[in-house]
Chains A and B, each alone.
Chain A
């Protein structure tokens, strides 16, 4: 059911009575009030009473405002509109209209009217969120290096270099030992053994 089709409650009609009597209610809403009044005697009486009060008030005689009151009001209005430092300040009504215009423009910018822009704005918001989280997690940390930290880090670098040197040297020694054993010592031993065996046989 559309909202325009739902019947109005008595409480809602009481709120709308003044606007109804001023004829400032828009067509559909006015029609809903009319529809309610057709079926609700209490509200009809309420409207009739309000109309009666309004008519009675309008029938009261007009009285002219005294010059003193008029002058006081004018002075206060002028004071309210006067610039704080004596410059050319625009009247309050003009300023209010300008502010309203800016608000309207801002809303036009901020509220995407096309459905095409909604995902784009969502994507941009997601990207900003991701970048924000990443920047927070990977924010540059201030390194406070004490002389002890420095000395230790330098010692670690030296240790690493020395360890690599030690490993390399150890591997080199191993190669030399292996090569010597296989290519020099073992053949030499075999050759000496062969010579000795030959001598023994002879």
Chain B
């Protein structure tokens, strides 16, 4: 009977340990480089996003391995776990609330150990730009960008993973933003049918492409 009890105890402990492990893995929201924009995003209600990018670890790793034509891009993506971008058209009614919420979020980020790279408040134009980097033991864990242009749009970016600002600088210099605006962005990040893609007719559009 004692052997039976011992076996059952082992089975129970193993099962509970397995359950704990299952819950512990694959949860990027616990990553130090992850930022939750829910409080900000819900201010826009059901408003349609101008741009929404959501790239998952699997896809980023895939680009990291397969983007052999661009070593810089491959090196960047190989160390990233997630990229999220949400961009909304600013509504004049919401400017004050959004600015206040974003300022609060910036303060909260600083409280959580995020270091500001850029903090600019344009008193004339009313725009705000925050760029933060999270470092843990001297190693970057993520980057967050919050940009509000009251006359145009609000953009929120969170990059989870090891990222070097210099890499961003080098990559961003290789392509002009206006050329990239011609890309029809995938609103859900994957399985997007490009059959109705009309990139050429957006080539002169200065803003990110709308849905």
Chain A residues at the B interface, C-beta cutoff of 8 Å: 109, 117, 120-121, 123-124, 127-128, 130-131, 134-135, 138, 143, 145, 148-150, 152-168, 170-172, 174-175, 178
Chain A nearest CB: distance from B44 CB in Å? Answer: 18
Chain A nearest CB: distance from B86 CB in Å? Answer: 11
Complex Cα spacing A178 to B123, Å: 10
**B186 at interface (Cβ–Cβ under 8 A)?**
yes
- A156–B186 contact, CB under 8 A? yes
- B172–A166 contact, CB under 8 A? yes
> B120's closest neighbor in chain A, by CB?
A171
Complex Cα spacing A12 to B83, Å: 76
Complex Cα spacing A1 to B47, Å: 69
With A149-B192, A168-B118 given, name 13 new contacts (CB 8 A): A131-B22, A154-B67, A154-B70, A154-B73, A156-B183, A157-B55, A158-B171, A158-B175, A161-B167, A161-B168, A163-B208, A165-B171, A178-B122
Q: Which are the 8 A-B pairs with shortest beta-carbon distances?
A: A165-B172, A171-B129, A171-B120, A161-B171, A159-B180, A162-B172, A166-B177, A127-B15
Complex Cα spacing A107 to B62, Å: 51
Q: How many residues in B have their beta carbons less than 8 Å from beta carbons of A?
A: 62
Q: Which residues on B sit within 8 Å (CB–CB) of A117?
A: 5, 8
Complex Cα spacing A174 to B16, Å: 56
Q: Which residues on A sit within 8 Å (CB–CB) of B181?
A: 159
Complex Cα spacing A113 to B58, Å: 49
**B85 at interface (Cβ–Cβ under 8 A)?**
yes
